[in-house]
Amino acid sequence: MKKITPQMRVLLAVTAAALVTLGCASAPNVAELNTLTQQIVKASFRDQGIVKASTLINTDETNKACSEADALGKPLDEKTAKLIEEINMKAIKWPSDGKFIGDWKEGEKIAQNGRGLTFTDDDKTVNGGNCYNCHKIDDKEISYGTIGPSLHNYGKIRGVTDPNSAASKLIVEYTWGKVWNAKAYNACSNMPRAGHSGILTEAQVRHVVGLLLDPKSPVNQ
């Protein structure tokens, strides 16, 4: 983040004055708040390394709709939420070779790895999934976040004994889709769209699905 420059102080002062003025008449609408936000972001952030400030502004309609609902303090209406889920469901890329299950050992490495997409990385850095930041996965791991639900015994409690069987097909496909693009199932999910956003490759998603569903994985012990 940049240091506060005189130009930024002027912008912030103007923004504050605008908000006060708007507040005297009526609450600012979404378009006005978006304009003010874009001005502040442009003045406050710069490109550095592989990180581009434009990614904070040039987002897709899904993120825009969810951000606006969050700013207004109310959830999306059911019709809009369903439309967003349908759009994101159509955007899921299913495995090109038809194989959903990868190596759970590689999946564990990806889940533990939080590197990638920062200004200290470069385009050769292999991204991690940083899954433990939000979920409990392996019961032996003592450091994990709780923003998302526990994934311990994920496959076991869903009755997956052979992830390659016809009986497991629906839960295997759901798991792939959820990792690839969580907003296909929950319009304003906090979970990153790992595959859709290019955070993880198809091969990496396959390994993470293996971590969650392979009966030999520590997740299901």
Beta bridge partners of 48: 51
> CB within 8 A of 207, min separation 6: which ones?
102, 103, 104, 106, 107, 110
Phi, psi of 51 (to 5 degrees): -90, 125
Per-residue pLDDT, 24:
53
pTM beyond cutoff 0.85: no
Q: Residue 78 and residue 84: Cα distance in Å, rounded?
A: 10
Tens of pLDDT along 73-110? 889 999 999 999 999 999 999 999 999 999 999 999 99
Per-residue pLDDT, 6:
55
Identify the CA nearest to 210 among candidates 177, 176, 178: 176
Per-residue pLDDT, 14:
55
- What is the number of other CB atoms lying within 10 angstroms of the CB of residue 103? 15
Per-residue pLDDT, 32:
82
Per-residue pLDDT, 8:
57
pLDDT < 70: residue spans in the chain: 1-27
Per-residue pLDDT, 26:
66
Phi, psi of 10 (to 5 degrees): -65, -45
The encoded tokens of residue 203 equal: 């091969």
At the second CATH level, the architecture of 104-220 is Orthogonal Bundle (1.10)
Identify the CA nearest to 102 among candidates 195, 199, 194, 172: 172
- Any idea what DSSP says for residue 105? H
| Virtual torsion, Cα 97, 179, 119, 147, nearest 10 deg | -170
Per-residue pLDDT, 56:
77
Phi, psi of 48 (to 5 degrees): -150, 120
**Domain coordinates of the chain in residue numbers?**
6-75, 104-220
